[in-house]
Amino acid sequence: MTSQLLSLSTEAPFQCLPLTAALRRFVQVHGERDGAVVVSGQHTTTAVIVNEMEERLLMDLKRWLSQIAPPGDGWKHDDLHLRPGVPDDEPRNAHAHLQALLLGNQVTVNVCNGELQLGQYQDVLLVELDGPRQRKVSLQWLSA
Mean pLDDT by 10 residues, the chain (144 residues): 93 98 95 92 98 98 98 94 90 97 98 96 98 98 88
Q: Assess if residue 81 is contained within a domain.
A: no
Q: Assess if residue 130 is contained within a domain.
A: yes
Q: Assess if residue 105 is contained within a domain.
A: yes
Nearest CA to 17 out of 138, 101, 93, 127 is that of 127
The residue segments making up the domain with residue 66 are 3-70+95-143
Phi and psi torsions of 76, nearest 5°: -60, -35
Nearest CA to 96 out of 131, 63, 124, 61 is that of 131
pLDDT for 144 equals: 73
CATH code, 25 = 2.60.120.460
Q: Assess if residue 111 is contained within a domain.
A: yes
Q: Assess if residue 13 is contained within a domain.
A: yes
User: What distance in Å separates the CA atoms of residue 29 and residue 23, rounded to the nearest whole number?
Assistant: 10
Number of compact structural domains in the chain: 1
CA atoms within 13 A on the CB side of 76: 0
pLDDT for 52 equals: 97
